[in-house]
């Protein structure tokens, strides 16, 4: 069985180094960016530092443990850099794992260098948490195309419909788009396409959201795609999407852990310095016990994330459930820790520009995206019953 404790000393050392790098090189670039806009100078710096190539490798797989280390460490010092890196990895990962030689050669070097912006386009107005309900249509083109709608023999397709709540949209340079090519319902008949932003018929607009990173809609008015744009196999795109999320869900938990650690450290420092009722806040049992609870939950979340990532890298069974557990527990924990940190700091934490005001806005979204907490509980329960029927532990 994979263990999250292997190389723990090296992991902690790497985290400290990444935090320092983020504070020194990435934080200043992030501060110059505009909320809700892709920060291309920040992406270029991530590429220059070699961080993007760790989540968008030109050869070989992405290691979940390395992805989690990166996301937790960057989140501690610069959430904007963490999110920019994660979105590049998420948008490009289907090509990393299943792209053709031509797709990989065209896009991976550009994304890894921070010169091209990638996006993962799965969610729709009626298919958010229920991703299998997607309705974006890929209508076959050419003579006899309708008869070949579900087959790899189709000469091409035109995409019709809308995607919504897509990170980096509509500012990305290339999108991994999931559309329905076959007659099947739910997960059946979905195909992944790699769609450059300059394709005719592709439009979109930004959405104003609570968090500072770019999110928007995409509209498809007969966008042409061909066999060379298919990522993986025709009709097997939904499985590709879920495999991508199995990798990235523990790292969403790592992002949450990074924010929780940042809020916890700020609270400990504040409790030592702030005086109230004749002494420092840390001498009040209510405060010290709250800090102890925050620390315990954060450490438990970190261990669960590390265990899920180690299991993924080792190819162990039950990855879907462990990934869901990691994301669920870590994101819920981070919400609790950041909220508690705001309570300890009082009104000063609500001022614009305060670390905790920033974290309070950032921490809410991870409980929703890449599967809301309720969806994670559903995944875990299904895996429990599946494993019970097979006579095994999930």
pLDDT in tens, 309-343: 999 999 998 899 999 999 999 999 999 999 999 99
**Pair (100, 125) in one structural domain:** no
For position 97, what pLDDT does the model report?
Answer: 96
Establish if 296 belongs to a structural domain.
yes
**Pair (367, 251) in one structural domain:** yes
φ, ψ at 175 (rounded to 5°)? -125, 135
The CATH number that applies at residue 97 is 1.10.540.10
Q: What is the domain count for the chain?
A: 3
Helix/strand/coil for 57: coil
Look at phi and psi of residue 243 and say left if phi exceeds 0, alpha if psi is from -120 to 50, else beta: alpha
Q: Does the annotation count 370 as an active-site position?
A: yes
Establish if 372 belongs to a structural domain.
yes
Report yes or no: 260 and 301 within 8 Å, Cβ to Cβ.
yes
> Cis link prior to 12 (omega < 30° from 0)?
no
pLDDT in tens, 204-258: 999 998 877 899 999 999 999 999 999 999 999 999 999 998 899 999 999 999 9
**Pair (298, 380) in one structural domain:** yes
Examine the pLDDT at 146 and tell me if it is beyond 80: no
Distance of CA 116 to the CA centre of its chain: 18
Among 235, 265, 299, where does a domain finish? 235
Examine the pLDDT at 364 and tell me if it is beyond 80: yes
Q: What does DSSP assign to residue 236?
A: B
Establish if 46 belongs to a structural domain.
yes
335: which 2 tokens?
A: 């919400």
Look at phi and psi of residue 372 and say left if phi exceeds 0, alpha if psi is from -120 to 50, else beta: beta
**Pair (258, 194) in one structural domain:** no
Establish if 34 belongs to a structural domain.
yes
pLDDT in tens, 272-281: 999 888 889 9
Establish if 1 belongs to a structural domain.
no
Q: Positive or negative, the Cα torsion across 370, 373, 375, 377?
A: positive
Q: Which residues pair with 127 in a beta bridge?
A: 124
Higher pLDDT, 13 or 187: 13
Contacts of 283 (CB under 8 A, 6+ apart): none
Examine the pLDDT at 147 and tell me if it is beyond 50: no
Report yes or no: 147 and 193 within 8 Å, Cβ to Cβ.
no
3-state helix, strand, coil in the chain (%, to 5): 55, 15, 30
**Pair (289, 311) in one structural domain:** yes
**Pair (106, 177) in one structural domain:** no
Q: Which residues pair with 62 in a beta bridge?
A: none
Q: Are strands 118-121 and 174-180 parallel, antiparallel or unpaired?
A: parallel
Helix/strand/coil for 140: strand
**Pair (146, 161) in one structural domain:** yes
For position 149, what pLDDT does the model report?
Answer: 43
Helix/strand/coil for 164: strand
Domain that holds residue 145: 118-235
**Pair (274, 345) in one structural domain:** yes
The CATH number that applies at residue 141 is 2.40.110.10
pTM beyond 0.85? yes
Establish if 103 belongs to a structural domain.
yes
Which entry of 82, 362, 370, 383 is annotated as an active-site residue? 370
Give helix then strand counts, H and E, for the chain. Answer: 12, 10
φ, ψ at 166 (rounded to 5°)? -95, 120
Q: What does DSSP assign to residue 59?
A: S
Establish if 2 belongs to a structural domain.
no
Average pLDDT, the chain: 91
**Pair (217, 293) in one structural domain:** no
Arithmetic mean of pLDDT, 172-178: 98
Examine the pLDDT at 262 and tell me if it is beyond 90: yes
Examine the pLDDT at 181 and tell me if it is beyond 70: yes
**Pair (243, 371) in one structural domain:** yes
Alpha-carbon distance of 278 to 289, in angstroms, equals 19
**Pair (106, 124) in one structural domain:** no
Establish if 3 belongs to a structural domain.
no
**Pair (360, 382) in one structural domain:** yes
Among 53, 80, 112, where does a domain finish? 112
Cβ-based neighbour number of residue 352 at 10 Å: 6
Query: Look-up: residue for tokens 């995607």?
Result: 163
Among 217, 235, 253, where does a domain finish? 235
């Amino acid at each position: 069985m994979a263990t999250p404790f292997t190389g723990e000393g090296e992991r902690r050392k790497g985290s400290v180094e990444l935090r320092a790098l983020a504070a020194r090189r990435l934080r200043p670039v992030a501060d110059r960016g505009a909320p809700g806009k892709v920060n291309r100078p920040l992406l270029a710096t991530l590429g220059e530092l070699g961080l993007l190539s760790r989540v968008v490798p030109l050869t070989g797989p992405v290691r979940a443990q390395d992805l989690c280390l990166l996301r937790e460490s960057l989140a501690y010092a610069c959430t904007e850099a963490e999110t920019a890196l994660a979105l590049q990895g998420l948008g490009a990962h289907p090509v990393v794992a299943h792209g053709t030689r031509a797709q990989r050669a065209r896009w991976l070097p550009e994304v890894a260098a921070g010169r091209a912006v990638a996006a993962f386009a799965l969610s729709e107005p009626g298919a958010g948490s229920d991703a299998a309900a997607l309705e974006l249509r890929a209508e076959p083109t050419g003579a006899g195309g309708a008869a070949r709608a579900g087959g790899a023999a189709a000469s091409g397709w035109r995409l019709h419909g809308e995607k919504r709540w897509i990170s980096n949209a509509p500012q990305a340079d290339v999108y991994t788009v999931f559309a329905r090519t076959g007659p099947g319902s739910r997960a059946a008949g979905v195909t992944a396409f790699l769609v450059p932003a300059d394709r005719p018929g592709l439009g979109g607009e930004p959405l104003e959201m609570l968090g500072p990173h770019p999110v928007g809609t995409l509209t498809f008015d007969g966008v042409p795609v061909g066999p060379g744009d298919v990522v993986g196999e025709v009709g097997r795109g939904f499985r590709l999407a879920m495999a991508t999320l199995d990798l990235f869900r523990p790292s969403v938990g790592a992002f949450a852990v990074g924010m929780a650690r940042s809020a916890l450290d700020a609270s400990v420092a504040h409790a030592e310095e702030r005086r109230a009722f004749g002494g420092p806040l840390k001498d009040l049992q209510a405060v010290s016990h709250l800090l102890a609870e925050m620390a315990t939950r954060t450490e438990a979340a970190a261990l669960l994330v590390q265990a899920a990532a180690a299991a993924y890298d080792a190819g162990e069974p039950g990855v879907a459930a462990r990934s869901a557990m990691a994301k669920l527990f870590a994101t819920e924990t981070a919400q609790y820790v950041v909220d508690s940190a705001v309570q300890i700091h009082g009104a000063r934490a609500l001022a614009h520009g305060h670390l905790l005001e920033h974290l309070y806005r950032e921490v809410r979204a991870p409980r929703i995206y890449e599967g809301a907490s309720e969806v994670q509980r559903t995944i875990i329960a299904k895996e429990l019953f599946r494993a019970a029927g097979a006579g095994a532990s999930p």
